[in-house]
């Protein structure tokens, strides 16, 4: 199962690049109020920037085993 590349943000589907831009543009005190939601289960997710071994994607803030979207491990 692929990682999540989109989320729901104030009712709109946005991609991870947009979410990262939104978070980067927000004042630090407002960042915690940004609510990105999983497109599948609606639980809070956060955008993770691309790294050496993964492209940018969303991860659940709290793991949700019932969600079809999986969170790639950081340490693979
Ligand atoms: Zn989910």
Question: Which carries the bigger pLDDT value, residue 65 or residue 14?
Answer: 14
Task: Domain of residue 53: give its range.
Answer: 6-60
C-alpha 76/C-alpha 40 separation (Å) is 24
CB under 5 Å of ion ligand 1: residues: 38, 40-41, 67, 69
Distance from Cα 65 to the centre of ligand 1, integer Å: 9
Question: Could you tell me if residue 70 is inside a domain?
Answer: no
The DSSP symbol for 64 reads -
Domain count, the chain: 1
pLDDT at 53 over 90: no
More confident residue, 15 or 69: 15
pTM of the model: 0.85
State the pLDDT at residue 10.
94
Query: Does residue 48 belong to any structural domain of this protein?
Result: yes
Q: Tell me, yes or no, whether 14 lies in a domain.
A: yes
**76 is a domain residue:** no
Non-local CB neighbours of 3 within 8 Å, separated by 6+ positions: 54, 55, 57, 58, 59, 69, 70, 71, 72
Q: Which residues contact 55 (CB under 8 A, 6 or more apart)?
A: 3
pLDDT at 76 over 60: no
Is residue 75, in this structure, part of any structural domain at all? no
């Amino acid at each position: 199962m692929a990682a999540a590349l989109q989320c729901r943000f104030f009712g709109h589907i946005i991609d991870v690049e947009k979410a990262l831009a939104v978070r980067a543009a927000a004042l630090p005190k407002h960042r915690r109020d940004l609510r990105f939601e999983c497109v599948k289960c609606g639980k809070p997710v956060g955008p993770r920037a691309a790294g050496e071994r993964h492209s940018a994607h969303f991860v659940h803030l709290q793991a949700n085993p019932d969600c079809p979207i999986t969170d790639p491990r950081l340490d693979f």
